[in-house]
Amino acid sequence: MNRHHAPAAAAIVAVFLAATGLVGCGTSSNPLESAQRMVKAHGGSNTPITVANADSAAAAISAIMGTSFQRSFQSVFSSLFNLKLGRRGDTTPITITLEEAIHAGLNNGSLTVKGGKIVVTSGTLTSIHMETSFEYDDFSDDGVVFIGGTVDATVDVEITTATAALDSLHAVYKANIATTGKYNGAMSMNLTVDQGTTGPGTLAGTATVGGKDVEVNLTGFRLF
């Protein structure tokens, strides 16, 4: 090849590789950009997420995550709890592996459980420990808040064995979420939820918006 044509040829090859995805274009490595591709434009106030309202946006997104989480795993929790009731006195933990599963949103989109595990032990309290990751694709239960993105979560639930009442819940999750509808924007969240049988729970941690960290510390929040 004529050496004068080599730079032009190299540029053409580079553009082709980038266009076909054979080399990275800088988008796949950015989880917030990936999240934005997982939610469509929807009607609503679409209030931009800023540092000033990041805690409120995080609470709205977390509420959607909480109700969808409960619905997706409620049957599994109930089955495991009933199984342990049938083995009273047996304190041997039960461990199950979560397989990939897709759950439809009540209004739109889907939630895909990407796997994980659940460990159940019992005594006076039945303890359920879960580690999982899931992915939202243009998901909404209420037709108001729509989300897309990924979540890694660890959840510990304690249930009073005799009454099957929730005693405590502790959840830690890291998420990269984009949203439209009520709010519009993308944020990373590293949050913890703590709640007891009754009364106000707490949502605390950090939300990152536009590269800026915002402290989240809300009382009165319950995951479900």
Show me where the domains of the chain are located.
1-28, 38-219
pLDDT band for position 65 (cuts 50, 70, 90): very high
Q: Which residue has the tokens 């009165």?
A: 220
Q: Angle 179-181-183 (CA atoms, 0-180°, nearest 5)?
A: 60
pLDDT band for position 84 (cuts 50, 70, 90): low
130: number of Cβ within 10 Å: 21
The pLDDT, as a whole number, for residue 79 is 72
Quick one: average pLDDT of 201-224? 94
The pLDDT, as a whole number, for residue 132 is 95
The pLDDT, as a whole number, for residue 93 is 87
The pLDDT, as a whole number, for residue 83 is 66
**What letter would DSSP give residue 10?**
H
pLDDT band for position 168 (cuts 50, 70, 90): very high
Residue 170 CA to residue 73 CA, distance in Å, equals 16
Task: Give me 85's structure tokens.
Answer: 């009731």
pLDDT band for position 163 (cuts 50, 70, 90): confident
Q: Which residue has the tokens 């941690």?
A: 205
The pLDDT, as a whole number, for residue 17 is 34
Task: Give me 12's structure tokens.
Answer: 């053409």
pLDDT of 137 above 70:
yes
